[in-house]
Structure 1
Amino acid sequence: MSHSSFVPFCTFIDTTFWAELNRRKLHEWRLDETPRDVSGQFSLFDTVGDECRLSLNHESFERQSSGTYHGRLILLNTLENFKGLDRKTLLLEETSKVWGIIESGEWLLYPERLVPFVFTVYADLKKFHYYFWNCFPALCFPENIKQQVFSFADDGKLMKYFNDTKFCAFLLDSKGNCTSMQDLGGTEDAADVKIVFADPSPVADCAGWPLRNLVAAVAHMKRSWRWCSFVSLKGGGDLKEFRISWDETENSMHLTVYISHACPREKCHVNAFCLTPTIRTNCLQVSAGREICKERWSRSLLICGNSSTPRSELLIAFLFPQFVFYLGVFRLMEQSVELNLSLIKWRLVPEMKLERYTSLKVLIFGAGTLGSNIARCLLAWGVKKITFVDNSFVSYSNPVAGFSVVLFLRVYLSLFAFVFKVVPYRQSLSEFADAREARGKAETAAAALRRIYPSVEAEAVLLTVPMPGHTIGTSEETDVLRDVETLEKLVSTHDVVFLALDSREARWLPTVLASKHGKMAFSVALGFDNYVVIRHGVKSGDLAEVQSSSGNVMGDFYSLCLGVNRCQATNARRGH
């Protein structure tokens, strides 16, 4: 006969768990630190290692009724909050719940509730760094607890009953029948029953951590018993019977909270917290005249181990490649962009609707100085569908020449707004190779956007915008009509139009079409020391198609810009 010992838990966290946590943090929980219910799975087929394994994956966020252990996830917003969390109070609350379940007899209906856990996490979503502690509270026994281990023969009936019911613990009576734990109340003699428990321990002759609180619960309920037999149910190998006995020697009950830390590649427990409350009762023998005094729990906290801070270096080194494999690099980048925008929404503009940015279709006339920088700003705001329209080609002067003007462009999109603040360079999306090969500006800009942000749907259209006052030969009429038809189709299939063209005349027809189809249009012009932004199309909040002209409809370019009437084409070719 030897002292009782139990194999502790370690935590195995699948990459899918972190991916689902990221998604819920971004789209559901945001800055809310309210504890969440999670469930951990265990395996009865582990034969390698020296610790019980609790597995977390994407299904852990959906609370399951049986076959799993239930816990609480506390996701902190900052590393400071994670380090400063009052774990002592938190774990005292959790362990008091365990003792309450034992006293009330609730564990007979839900034996899995005897094995709770508290999973505290800080997730740095930008760097994909995760700091976590998983805590498994358990009642610690006095010195007089002994155990004997025997082999147990089974024909597969126990595993079949477990698979059918998913009960973490059930009874095996003297006739070989399996029943639920509720029948324990009618059992008088310990020799008439054996308690079968799902044992995730990979060690042959040592029971797993779930047996600890189960033994305490049985001893509390059956105060006249001095021993009880427990059958360790495992998926492989011979089953073991643990006969655990105790006597009436008075010992102070104390509470141990075990904290394990593990990464998918290397399982290791780092720290153990020992909370020692003053309790005037034996944890296995409770007489009628004694009551537990939970108010007398000690406030002292003993930290066992070399450090009181979690380690995440091994996890980080292993986890990021797993994220790349599971999600793909494109989805990782999308998630990072979403995080930047979500932080702005959560902390600065709660009413901002980010989904409008991602679904927005933007048409940019001109892929030069203004068009390139507008597109870059749109990327930062999560816009993924951009179409460039331009008829010119990259010249050698385009990639390097720049302005020192800062452009403020305030754009109203229905009920929300954002501000562009850029220092534009002439062609920020082009480079020397584009000029050497005489590539089209629209094609070059679209290709550059796809290199910068692979998830963007960037397209290019080589098109000359028909301009008023420019004569058209008879041979060109068919081409011009085709261009007008293409232009109208582009405007009608996009949500917002930006006019970043060189000449004033080229801006007229797109603004007319924007007003006709009820689209928002913005005409942008930039000089050396000045700029102008003109709004066309419909008003904010009016997204319905305009059926007829009225005083509420914004005018075309010439109606709103009356300063200069002469043709700008000549000066435009000189570079504004």
Structure 2
Amino acid sequence: MGVNIPFLVVAWCDLNGALRTVRNYLKLIAKFAIIAYMTIIFAAFSVSISVIASSAAVTSLLELKVESSPNSASTHDGAQAEHISGSLPNVLTTNMDLSLATMSVVALRDFTFDYTHLYTPTFTKPTFWHALTNLKIDVLQLSDESIPITASYSPGRSIVDRETGREIALGCNITVGGDAFTDNPQIPANSVSATGVFKNFNTIEEFKAIDKTALFNQLTDEVWEGITQGSTVALTRFLLITFADLKKYKYYYWFTFPAFVAKPAWELDGEWIPGGQGFTEEALIAIASSLHSSTRPFFLIRSSGSAPEIAPVEDFDRFFEGVPQQHRTIAFLDPSALPTNPGWPLRNLLAYLAHRHPSFVSAPEGIRVLCWRDTEVPSDGHWKSRFGVVKSQGSKQGTEEKLTAVGWEKNVQGKLGPRLADLAPMMDPARLADQAVDLNLKLMRWRILPSLDLDKIAGTRCLLLGAGTLGCYVARTLMGWGVRTITFVDSARVSFSNPVRQPLFEFEDCLHGGKLKAACAAERLKKIFPGVHPDGINAPPPPTGKDAPDPHSSGSVLGLVPHQLRGFLAEFRNMPITGAAYSRCTGCSDTVLEAYEKEGFPVLLRAFNEPGYLEALTGLDKLYDEGEAALASVDWDIDEGEGDEDM
């Protein structure tokens, strides 16, 4: 019985492949097992760390101590940011910026300040960037001086989820619009203004290298000075630094809103409750009516009478004189919509009160606070405003000295850094090109010729006779200097030798007999810059045959000379003229012609290189002397008697 060797080889190969496959599967299973084991170990380690951190945080909370972290020694200068634990919303560390994440807050023991809206705090309208562009070009130019700016903010907004019925808070925006640089900007209804400082830099390097600490300290000094002078105007003051890349329509910007950090922290007595539980319906309606006529960022409420009365915070002593603590309420327009987190202006308002009225904030009854969030009287009686009682944990640091502060906002990545507004994708490319050309002209005017009248140049209309090499380059130069209306006049067509010398033509323009030069050049100008208004006129071809002028009709070996031609622009033609020859003409006199026939090209060389050669050759240089001699030979005697009689 024979053995089939090829069959055995094939069978062995199949068995070997199957074994390799099984081995690979076993390796893969082992890898997954190792990964799963490591994942379990890592998760257990993370839980342990979280428990330890939570325990330490709770211990710190129970001790009622709020200490700055070692890395936040200079929180007042804005160089550091405050950080907060997402697992313990009631724990405060003073090393936190105004914004961390969509739901980040600054906690003060039992209640927190909401900085949610400062994660995306600044709603910069496109009109603001257009206003900045005009301000940079026409006013600031190369200056980086600080100028005033005005923004606005409104009460916090919320919406109701139709499926769950839950109320969802929306962040409030600090809005800057196209009139932010004007003296009287339009503030939207139910909003209040916030004044600030604007500083633009000329290069991205200057923007990155700016001493932000010094700028922040200067701003916090201004806010604190306002507090010491008894004014609440500066409590919402802010700083905006920018770099405007006008050619690319990219704007780098960074906001900071100084917020003072109290030591020890404030404490909430109980919890934040709806405004309807802290005030009667009639009282809230009366407050809403008063604010509707004059919206205030901060105000006082006196509820000792039949109806509540409101007044500016600056009138604290007069307004609250003789009023019991339980009938005194401080209020502010709250940009937060979170039910348990008032907005950031409350922090500076409490700092103001602690400095100006320390006995009021240290009262055992606490401070009644109304966070006003209603823009209209609700029809269902559900008031969005919140009410709470805030107490001091002891004598406040900073009743005389300046408090530390935080304030630089974070970018969309949650890091301390500037934001970018890129308007190029949302703009018409033709408009972008037009504004970029105008910007380039204004930059040239700044640096080269400040007296250059760009409007006059833009209104100039230019006619180019000929669309050849010179005409194409002249047209490009005129367009580069701002001329918007250019007309070509030419009778030729584009030939294969033109594109290499004339920049307004391409190879395709030479095909099929060639395009008309004037129209083709005008079309190409429009493609290069849509803001130009070109036109191309096809002139009649030059006369040929018997209508063509004979260059030798003058009988001169030099042919026609310029003064023997007359041009007619209306007819696009030249006409030779015939007249008596002048014996001393430097172009066609017999003396010049005879010298050329006799000596040839050397005569031309001497005419090109020796000023006065032709005048001396024809005797034109002696014409003046002959004229003087002729005048001297004239008898200029006048009858004196006749002259006297005329007198």
Find the counterpart in structure 2 of residue 166 from structure 1. 295
Q: Deviations 1:151-201 (Å, cap 9, x if unpaired)?
A: 212554434433321321222220322333343222144322322211111
Identity %: 27
Find the counterpart in structure 2 of residue 43 from structure 1. 154
* AA of the residue aligned to 1:76: F
Find the counterpart in structure 1 of residue 499 from structure 2. 399
Q: Deviations 1:440-478 (Å, cap 9, x if unpaired)?
A: 2111111111111111111222334999xx9599xxxxx
* AA of the residue aligned to 1:205: T
* AA of the residue aligned to 2:349: L
Q: State which drifts further: 457-466 or 31-40.
A: 457-466
Q: Is the 8 A contact 2:492 2:541 kept in 1?
A: no
Find the counterpart in structure 2 of residue 232 from structure 1. 371
* 1:35 Cα deviation from its structure 2 partner: 1.0
Find the counterpart in structure 1 of residue 388 from structure 2. 242
Distance 1:243 1:511 in 2: 90
Q: Deviations 1:348-401 (Å, cap 9, x if unpaired)?
A: 33333333322222121112221112111222222211111222222333223x
Residues 156 and 375 (structure 1 numbering): CA distance in 2 closer, same or farther, change over 3 Å?
Answer: farther
Matches within 5 A, 1:467-478: none
Find the counterpart in structure 1 of residue 112 from structure 2. 5
* AA of the residue aligned to 1:359: G
Q: Is the 8 A contact 2:494 2:509 kept in 1?
A: no
Name which of 121, 133, 137 aligns with 2:258. 137
Residues 131 and 451 (structure 1 numbering): CA distance in 2 closer, same or farther, change over 3 Å?
Answer: same
Find the counterpart in structure 2 of residue 197 from structure 1. 332
Q: Structure 1: which 5+ runs fail to align? A: 272-308, 401-424, 474-502, 514-561, 564-576
Q: Deviations 1:468-525 (Å, cap 9, x if unpaired)?
A: xx9599xxxxxxxxxxxxxxxxxxxxxxxxxxxxx99999445999xxxxxxxxxxxx
Name which of 425, 436, 446 aligns with 1:321. 425
* 1:336 Cα deviation from its structure 2 partner: 1.4
Q: Report the secondary structure of 1:270's partner residue.
A: coil
Q: Is the 8 A contact 1:396 1:436 kept in 2?
A: no
* AA of the residue aligned to 2:373: K
Q: Is the 8 A contact 2:124 2:177 kept in 1?
A: yes
Q: Deviations 1:263-283 (Å, cap 9, x if unpaired)?
A: xxxx56532xxxxxxxxxxxx
* 1:243 Cα deviation from its structure 2 partner: 1.9
Distance 2:455 2:196 in 1: 33
Find the counterpart in structure 1 of residue 310 from structure 2. 178
Q: Is the 8 A contact 1:11 1:261 kept in 2?
A: no
Name which of 427, 437, 446 aligns with 1:346. 446
* 1:206 Cα deviation from its structure 2 partner: 0.7
Alignment of 1:429 onto 2:505? yes
Find the counterpart in structure 1 of residue 216 from structure 2. 91
* 1:204 Cα deviation from its structure 2 partner: 2.1
Name which of 194, 201, 218 aligns with 1:76. 201
Residues 195 and 451 (structure 1 numbering): CA distance in 2 closer, same or farther, change over 3 Å?
Answer: same
Residues 138 and 321 (structure 1 numbering): CA distance in 2 closer, same or farther, change over 3 Å?
Answer: same
* 1:75 Cα deviation from its structure 2 partner: 0.4
The TM-score with structure 2 as length reference comes to: 0.57
Question: Cα RMSD (Å) of the superposition?
Answer: 3.4
Larger relative strand fraction: 1
Q: Is the 8 A contact 2:267 2:393 kept in 1?
A: no
Q: Deviations 1:222-263 (Å, cap 9, x if unpaired)?
A: 22112322211113752101322214346466322311145x
* AA of the residue aligned to 1:136: F
* 1:106 Cα deviation from its structure 2 partner: 2.4
Q: Is the 8 A contact 1:465 1:506 kept in 2?
A: no
* AA of the residue aligned to 2:433: M
Alignment of 1:255 onto 2:404? yes
Residues 163 and 51 (structure 1 numbering): CA distance in 2 closer, same or farther, change over 3 Å?
Answer: same
* AA of the residue aligned to 2:339: A
Distance 1:458 1:506 in 2: 30
Matches within 5 A, 1:96-495: 96-107=221-232, 110=233, 113-148=234-269, 149-153=272-276, 154=281, 155-174=284-303, 175-186=307-318, 187-188=320-321, 189-225=324-360, 226=362, 227-235=366-374, 238-249=384-395, 251=397, 254-262=403-411, 267=412, 270-271=415-416, 309-310=417-418, 312=420, 315-316=421-422, 319-322=423-426, 324=427, 328-400=428-500, 425-426=501-502, 428-433=504-509, 435-436=511-512, 438-464=514-540
Residues 160 and 442 (structure 1 numbering): CA distance in 2 closer, same or farther, change over 3 Å?
Answer: farther
Q: Is the 8 A contact 2:252 2:418 kept in 1?
A: yes
Distance 1:46 1:506 in 2: 83
Residues 366 and 507 (structure 1 numbering): CA distance in 2 closer, same or farther, change over 3 Å?
Answer: farther
Q: Structure 2: which 5+ runs fail to align? A: 1-107, 159-167, 376-382, 550-561, 573-613, 616-647
Q: Report the secondary structure of 1:90's partner residue.
A: helix
* 1:78 Cα deviation from its structure 2 partner: 0.9
Find the counterpart in structure 1 of residue 182 from structure 2. 62
Q: Is the 8 A contact 1:260 1:269 kept in 2?
A: no
Q: Is the 8 A contact 1:389 1:442 kept in 2?
A: yes
Find the counterpart in structure 2 of residue 34 from structure 1. 145
Greater C-alpha Rg? 2
* 1:76 Cα deviation from its structure 2 partner: 0.3
Distance 2:563 2:286 in 1: 86
The TM-score with structure 1 as length reference comes to: 0.64
Residues 121 and 197 (structure 1 numbering): CA distance in 2 closer, same or farther, change over 3 Å?
Answer: same
Q: Report the secondary structure of 2:127's partner residue.
A: helix
* AA of the residue aligned to 1:259: W
Distance 2:127 2:298 in 1: 29
* AA of the residue aligned to 1:213: N
Find the counterpart in structure 1 of residue 31 from structure 2. none
* AA of the residue aligned to 1:374: V
* 1:347 Cα deviation from its structure 2 partner: 2.8
Distance 2:267 2:223 in 1: 23
* 1:89 Cα deviation from its structure 2 partner: 1.8
